[in-house]
Amino acid sequence: MEEIKNIIESLLLVAGEPLTIDHINNILTQAEKKEIQNALSELSKEYEARKGGFFLREVAGGYQIRTRPEYREWIKRLIQPKALRLSKAALETLAIIAYKQPIIRSDIEHVRGVNCGGILRMLLERRLIRILGKKEIPGRPLIYATTKQFLEVFDLKDLKDLPTPEEIITLGEASSEQIE
Amino acid sequence: MTPDECYQVQLENIFEGPMDLLVHLIKKHEVDIYDIPIALITEQYLKYLEWMKAMNIDVAGEFLVLASTLTQIKSRMLLPAHEDEDEDEDPRLEIIRPLEEYLRIKSAAEKLAKRDLLGEDTFVRNPGQEDYLLNREEAVIDVGLFELIDAFQKILEHISPIGRMEINADTITVRDRIVQIVDIFETKESVTFNELFSKNADKSEVVVTFLAILEMVRLSLIRVAQHTQTGIIRLFYL
């Protein structure tokens, strides 16, 4: 068990992208998936107990070692990754696609009431969304959906992990948020 | 910049679309979205459109679509309700439903933005080499094409005036020069722009080297940066 845990930890350290249990299982054939799952939660508990600079996150269907958000300012003195910085409009468009996928452009535009061609192109370039195909209706519009990259960037396990939007917005709260 | 242009930028940021303007008005007047005083909101909405026009802002067609929807709802509200037809639904539902949906999406977008974003709040190992920040003393700025051309002009000025323009059979191609430059980068991580031009280079060699640099930038093989104080241009291998 200890050994399996250490092997998995070493894999997690080197892997560039989130490692799925299946992927680990392909490498570590002698261990059962259940054991791998247990080892992963053990590791996660250890990191939580240690409260060090990193933790284990379950993202995009896999597991990945990530730095704790409280140290972000220090990391940013070391590296400057390409800024994610999405505008409010881009975030809203992305949210529409995330919650309503698969979705065609006219349905996206219907929600915001604005043309979103430029934003879609930008989201495609950043690989946050992808084209699933064409819908079999007149005009054969493109169908959009989010990518694995989207889950990775937004720290989501899967699409079910998307935050639940507020059902009813009381205006008092909404406006105080605005001021903040 | 004229005052008009100032306004234009600001307003475009505030109201990215007609729904945004509607939400703004509802918040501003602190009204319940399920009981919108349609006459007031419609009047306000149209007033904002007037202001935007007065400030020379192109009011997009989408704004007008919502304006006509609002006006239509307003007029339907004025019609006497037929008490016997209880299936008559509130005309305002036509605007409440999309409004609800838009508010839901807005809230979802805000929640997404607050998560621990990769590359913003949380990081993984193996950052790309280009992500590393250079030492502060070596503050550099990325160089644009025009700075490169200036530097190239200076190199051309220093070509030996003897001007040996004889045609060599073994003139090097841009592709070969790229391979040579990559070889140089194998040994060091960065070189200065001038280092790549040998002192006694003839014009064709200088041109080929310059074209090779441009091509490498285009292929994002290298990054070109200029030291803020010394003005020395350095090329970094990515």
Q: Is B116 helix (H, G, I), strand (E, B) or coil?
A: coil
In a domain, B119, yes or no: no
In this structure, is the dihedral angle defined by the CA atoms of residues A120, A125, A126 and A131, taken in order, positive or negative? Answer: positive
**A66 closest CB neighbour out of B19, B122, B126:** B122
In a domain, B185, yes or no: yes
Say yes or no to pLDDT of A104 above 90. yes
- Same domain, yes or no: B134 and B102: no
In a domain, B200, yes or no: yes
What distance in Å separates the CA atoms of residue B145 and residue B163, rounded to the nearest whole number? Answer: 27
pLDDT at residue B216 in the model: 84
- Same domain, yes or no: B133 and B104: no
State the nearest Cα–Cα gap between B18 and chain A, in angstroms: 6
Residues of B in contact with A77 (CB under 8 A): 133
pLDDT at residue A144 in the model: 95
- Say if CB B44 and CB B76 are below 8 A apart: no
Each residue of A18-75: pLDDT tens digit? 999 999 999 999 899 999 999 999 999 999 999 999 999 999 999 999 999 999 999 9
Amino acid at B130: E
A95 CB within 8 Å of a chain B CB: yes
What distance in Å separates the CA atoms of residue A12 and residue A6, rounded to the nearest whole number? Answer: 10
Which are the contacts of B51, defined by CB distance < 8 A and separation ≥ 6? none
Q: How many domains does chain B have?
A: 2
- Say if CB B122 and CB A67 are below 8 A apart: yes
What single-letter DSSP state applies at residue A118?
A: H
Residue B31 C-alpha from the chain's centroid:
35
- Same domain, yes or no: B52 and B142: no
- Same domain, yes or no: B200 and B165: yes
What tokens does A178 get?
């605005």
Characterize the bridge pairing of strands B140-142 and B190-192: unpaired
State the nearest Cα–Cα gap between B104 and chain A, in angstroms: 6
**B112 closest CB neighbour out of A16, A91, A152:** A91
pLDDT at residue B15 in the model: 62
Q: What is the band of A177 on the pLDDT scale with cuts at 50, 70, 90?
A: very low
Contacts 24+ apart (CB under 8 A), A82-86: A82/B119, A82/B131, A83/B119, A83/B120, A84/A153, A84/B117, A84/B118, A84/B119, A84/B120, A86/B113
- Same domain, yes or no: B83 and B143: no
**A166 closest CB neighbour out of B98, B104, B113:** B104
Amino acid at A170: T
What tokens does B109 get?
């977008």
pLDDT at residue A7 in the model: 95
What distance in Å separates the CA atoms of residue B113 and residue A85, rounded to the nearest whole number? Answer: 10
What distance in Å separates the CA atoms of residue B33 and residue B160, rounded to the nearest whole number? Answer: 78
User: What is the value of pTM for the model shown?
Assistant: 0.66
Cis peptide before B3 (omega within 30 of 0): no
**A81 closest CB neighbour out of B109, B112, B119:** B119
Beta strands in B4-157 (DSSP E): 140-142
The rounded percent of chain A whose pLDDT value lies above 90 is 62
Torsion angle of the four alpha carbons B106, A118, B65, A143, in this order, in degrees rounded to the nearest 10: -80
- Say if CB A171 and CB B33 are below 8 A apart: yes
pLDDT at residue A78 in the model: 86
Low-confidence ranges of chain B (pLDDT < 50): 1-13, 134-139
Each residue of B70-126: pLDDT tens digit? 998 888 888 776 655 555 678 888 888 889 899 999 999 999 999 999 988 999 887
Residue of A nearest to B63 (CA): A113
Residue ranges of chain B whose CB lies within 8 Å of a chain A CB = 16-19, 26-27, 30-33, 60, 62, 65-66, 98, 101-113, 115-128, 131-133
- Same domain, yes or no: B7 and B108: yes
A178 CB within 8 Å of a chain B CB: yes
In a domain, B123, yes or no: no
Q: What is the C-alpha radius of gyration for chain B, rounded to an integer number of angstroms?
A: 31
| Domain boundaries of chain A, sorted by first residue | 2-77, 88-166
- Region A90-97 average pLDDT: 94
Please tell me which residue, B62 or A96, carries the higher pLDDT value: A96
What tokens does A151 get?
């889950």
In a domain, B48, yes or no: yes
pLDDT at residue A157 in the model: 94
Residue B98: give the domain boundaries: 3-113
May I ask the CATH architecture of the domain A88-166? Answer: Orthogonal Bundle (1.10)
- Same domain, yes or no: B41 and B107: yes
Tokens 């091509």 appear where? B215
pLDDT at residue B187 in the model: 81
May I ask the CATH architecture of the domain A2-77? Answer: Orthogonal Bundle (1.10)
Q: How far is CA A6 from CA A12, A39, A42, B125, B149, in A?
A: 10, 9, 11, 18, 54
State the nearest Cα–Cα gap between B33 and chain A, in angstroms: 8
State the nearest Cα–Cα gap between B2 and chain A, in angstroms: 25
In a domain, B121, yes or no: no
In a domain, B118, yes or no: no
